[in-house]
Amino acid sequence: MADDVRELLLSTTADADPSTPLSAPDLRLLIDRLRIRSDRLHASALSFASSHRAPLAAALLRAADSSASSSSLESSLASALAPLSSSPGLSDLRELSDRLLAARRELRERQEHLAAASSVADLAARLRAARTSPDPLAAAAAAAELKPLLVDPEGSGSSQDEPVVFGLLRNDWEQLVDELQVMLAKNLEECVEFAPEGGKVMVRTAPVGKSGGTPGVELCVALQALEIIDAVDYGMTKLADLMIKHVLVPAISNISVAVSVEALEKSGPQYPISILCVTPTEELQGYKDGSALYSRIIDIIKFVCETICGENITWMQSFSKLTWSRISDLVIKHFISKAVPHEASKLIEFQDVVRSTTEFENTLRNMMFISHEKRDGKLTQFVDDVEVHFAVRKRNEILVKARHLLVHYDYDNPLASHDREDSIVDLLFLPEKCFISKSALQLMKLVHGALKDACLSSARVAKELCYAARDALLLYKAIVPVQLEKQLDCINQVAAIIHNDFYHLSQEILGLAFEYRADFPGDLQKLVVFVDLAPTFSQMADGVLTRQIQLVTANLIEAIDGADGFQNTHQPQHYESAKFSIEQVVFILEKIHIMWESILPRSIYKRSMCYILGSVFSRITKDMLLIDDMAAEETLQLQGLIHLALENLSSLFLSLVENEFLDHQTWIELDEIIRPLKKFRKLAELLDMSLKSITAAWESGELTNCGFTSSEVQNFVKAIFADSPLRKECLLWISRTPS
Please say if the pLDDT value at position 40 is more than 90: no
- Which of 347-356, 392-401, 442-451 is least confident? 347-356
Tell me what pLDDT residue 19 has: 61
Residue 607: inside a domain: yes
Tell me what pLDDT residue 400 has: 92
Tell me what pLDDT residue 18 has: 58
Residue 311: inside a domain: yes
The helix (run of H) or strand (run of E) holding residue 434 is strand 433-435
- Please write the tens of the pLDDT for every residue from 641-674: 999 999 999 999 898 888 778 888 889 898 889 9
Q: Are residues 194 and 225 in the same domain?
A: yes
Q: Are residues 528 and 560 in the same domain?
A: no
Please say if the pLDDT value at position 365 is more than 80: yes
Last residue of a domain, one of 498, 522, 544: 544
- Please write the tens of the pLDDT for every residue from 427-453: 777 777 888 888 888 999 999 988 888
Q: Are residues 568 and 686 in the same domain?
A: yes
Does residue 274 contact residue 202 with C-beta atoms inside 8 Å?
Answer: yes
Tell me what pLDDT residue 382 has: 85
Last residue of a domain, one of 376, 402, 422: 376
Query: Which of 33-37, 111-115, 163-167, 613-617 has the largest mean confidence?
Result: 613-617
Q: Are residues 329 and 449 in the same domain?
A: no
Tell me what pLDDT residue 106 has: 81
Q: Are residues 298 and 329 in the same domain?
A: yes
Q: Are residues 350 and 403 in the same domain?
A: no
Tell me what pLDDT residue 471 has: 92
Residue 114: inside a domain: no
Angstrom distances, CA of residue 409 to CA of 241, 402, 416, 483, 496:
53, 11, 12, 11, 16
Rounded Cα distance, 667 and 647, in Å: 12
- The model's confidence at residue 553, banded by pLDDT at 50, 70 and 90, is very high
Indicate the number of domains in the chain.
3
- Which of 3-12, 351-360, 467-476, 708-717 is least confident? 3-12
Computed over every residue of the chain, the mean pLDDT equals 80
Strand 424-426 and strand 433-435: the pairing is antiparallel
Strand, coil or helix: 629: coil
Tell me what pLDDT residue 268 has: 44
Rounded Cα distance, 540 and 502, in Å: 6
- Please write the tens of the pLDDT for every residue from 68-122: 777 777 777 666 656 555 555 556 667 777 788 888 888 887 777 677 666 667 6
Beta strands in 560-613 (DSSP E): none
- Which of 22-36, 379-393, 607-621 is least confident? 22-36
Residue 720: inside a domain: yes
Q: Which amino acid is at 417?
A: S
Residue 443: inside a domain: yes
Q: What share of the chain in percent tops pLDDT 70?
A: 82
- Residues in contact with 699: Cβ distance below 8 Å, sequence separation at least 6, in sequence order: 733, 737
Tell me what pLDDT residue 160 has: 56
Please say if the pLDDT value at position 315 is more than 80: yes
Tell me what pLDDT residue 558 has: 92
- The model's confidence at residue 123, banded by pLDDT at 50, 70 and 90, is low
Q: Are residues 258 and 364 in the same domain?
A: yes
Give the number of other CB atoms < 10 A from CB of residue 141. Answer: 17
- Residues in contact with 51: Cβ distance below 8 Å, sequence separation at least 6, in sequence order: none
- Between 339 and 426, residue with greater pLDDT: 339
Please say if the pLDDT value at position 240 is more than 80: yes
Report CA Rg, the chain. 59
Does residue 398 contact residue 472 with C-beta atoms inside 8 Å?
Answer: yes
- The model's confidence at residue 419, banded by pLDDT at 50, 70 and 90, is low
Mean pLDDT along residues 471-478 = 92
Rounded Cα distance, 124 and 129, in Å: 9
* Claim: this prediction has a pTM higher than 0.95: no
- Which of 156-165, 389-398, 506-515, 612-621 is least confident? 156-165
Rounded Cα distance, 214 and 592, in Å: 102
Q: Would you say the C-alpha torsion 532, 538, 541, 545 has a positive or negative sign?
A: negative
Does residue 545 contact residue 604 with C-beta atoms inside 8 Å?
Answer: yes
Please say if the pLDDT value at position 586 is more than 90: yes
Tell me what pLDDT residue 87 has: 53
Residue 64: inside a domain: no
- Between 514 and 638, residue with greater pLDDT: 638
β-sheet bridge partners, residue 433: 426
Rounded Cα distance, 170 and 438, in Å: 80
Rounded Cα distance, 731 and 710, in Å: 9
Please say if the pLDDT value at position 406 is more than 60: yes
Q: Are residues 362 and 413 in the same domain?
A: no
Q: Are residues 441 and 515 in the same domain?
A: yes
Please say if the pLDDT value at position 531 is more than 90: no
Residue 33: inside a domain: no
Please say if the pLDDT value at position 316 is more than 50: yes
Residue 32: inside a domain: no
Give the number of other CB atoms < 10 A from CB of residue 462. Answer: 27
Last residue of a domain, one of 544, 568, 599: 544
Residue 619's CATH number: 1.10.357.150
Q: Tell me which DSSP letter residue 430 carries.
A: S
β-sheet bridge partners, residue 533: none
Tell me what pLDDT residue 136 has: 76
Rounded Cα distance, 491 and 593, in Å: 12
Rounded Cα distance, 530 and 474, in Å: 11
Please say if the pLDDT value at position 633 is more than 70: yes
- The model's confidence at residue 420, banded by pLDDT at 50, 70 and 90, is low
Q: What are phi and psi of 573, to 5 degrees?
A: -65, -45
Q: Are residues 576 and 696 in the same domain?
A: yes
Q: Are residues 344 and 403 in the same domain?
A: no
Dmax of the chain from CA atoms? 174
β-sheet bridge partners, residue 215: 210
Angstrom distances, CA of residue 111 to CA of 123, 500, 621, 677, 694:
18, 106, 132, 131, 147
Tell me what pLDDT residue 269 has: 46
Mean pLDDT along residues 538-554 = 93
Please say if the pLDDT value at position 265 is more than 60: no
Please say if the pLDDT value at position 520 is more than 70: yes
Domain coverage including residue 350: 189-376
Q: Are residues 527 and 490 in the same domain?
A: yes
